[in-house]
Amino acid sequence: MPMTNKTAFITGASSGLGLVTSKELAAFGFDIVMTARGKERLEKAGEDLANQYPKSTITTQVLDVSNFDEVRSFAKEFSGPIDVLMNNAGVMGPDFSLSVDGIESQMAINHLGHFVLTKALWKQLGKAAAPRVISLSSTVHRRGKLKSLGLAQLKGANQKNYDRWQRYADSKLACLLFARELDLRTKQSGSKVISIAAHPGWAVTGLQDNFPNRFDRFAQTAKQGARSQIMAATGTDLAGGEFVGPSRELWGEPKLIKGTKQSRDLDLMKQLWELSEVATGETFEL
């Protein structure tokens, strides 16, 4: 079904799942706002996309979602309606580092930066007829451990406690919890925005560049992995609160899935939201 005169805003759009999603939504007729941290690769990706889909307006903007002030400043300059906000940018298992706001990089990029971005673009989402926010989780959310969540744990600024893979799992659980809490709050407030979570399964994207594995040849391509978030963005029978992932967990056509019991913990969802407000200095009231 054509999606002309609609705009999709996609973070991490210069490669991997974000680039595939940009292409697929442009093929649907969306205008695309592509953001990423690296200027050269982003501009090349945007130029290629504009040549491939001349009927779509392709805009590129360098944006580091882990820099909360940068996110806020950019959002102030963006006035048009947003039909789909694809919170796609992510990092996986990097060496320990802190964002400019003093937050461990995986949580800053994967969850907290998108928390700030979603809030900063809320008015623009409200200008669209049927807006959606898509949050990217992962199958490894199953290994997330946020039960005893506190502000120090969320920020993760103590290098001595850093476990790169546990931190990645925690950040992806946070993405799913955020998507579900956002859905509850939109419904309670009467907002027309719907919130959906998605995960790609096992798909080889730029995230694996630093961790090559001989079994990667069995993984899905980025195009196959992106099917879940494409369904989340374009599925006509979604009402908000859904979690979309591959039919066989790591592989397959997208379908609706449940996720873990912890990812549906109402108290934890609320706690994460409130701590995210404190960690970012951003009160997010719908």
Please state the three-class secondary structure of the chain as a single string. Answer: CCCCCCEEEECCCCCHHHHHHHHHHHHHCCEEEEEECCHHHHHHHHHHHHHHCCCCCEEEEECCCCCHHHHHHHHHHCCCCCCEEEECCCCCCCCCCECCCCCEHHHHHHHHHHHHHHHHCHHHHHCCCCCEEEEECCHHHHHCCCCCCCHHHHHCCCHHHCCHHHHHHHHHHHHHHHHHHHHHHHHHHCCCCEEEEECCCCECCHHHCCCCCHHHHHCECHHHHCHHHHHHHHCCCCCCCCEEEECCCCCCCEEECCCCCHHHCHHHHHHHHHHHHHHHCCCCCC
The string of pLDDT tens digits covering residues 2-13 is 566 899 999 999
Mean pLDDT lowest among 109-113, 163-167, 211-215, 226-230: 211-215
162 an active-site residue? no
The string of pLDDT tens digits covering residues 42-79 is 999 999 999 999 999 999 999 999 999 999 999 998 88
Q: In CATH, what number does 7-280 get?
A: 3.40.50.720
Residue extents of the structural domains in the chain:
7-280
- Decide: pTM greater than 0.75: yes
| Contact indicator for 120, 67 with CB cutoff of 8 Å | no
Q: Which of 168, 202, 243, 284 is catalytic?
A: 168
Mean pLDDT of the chain: 93
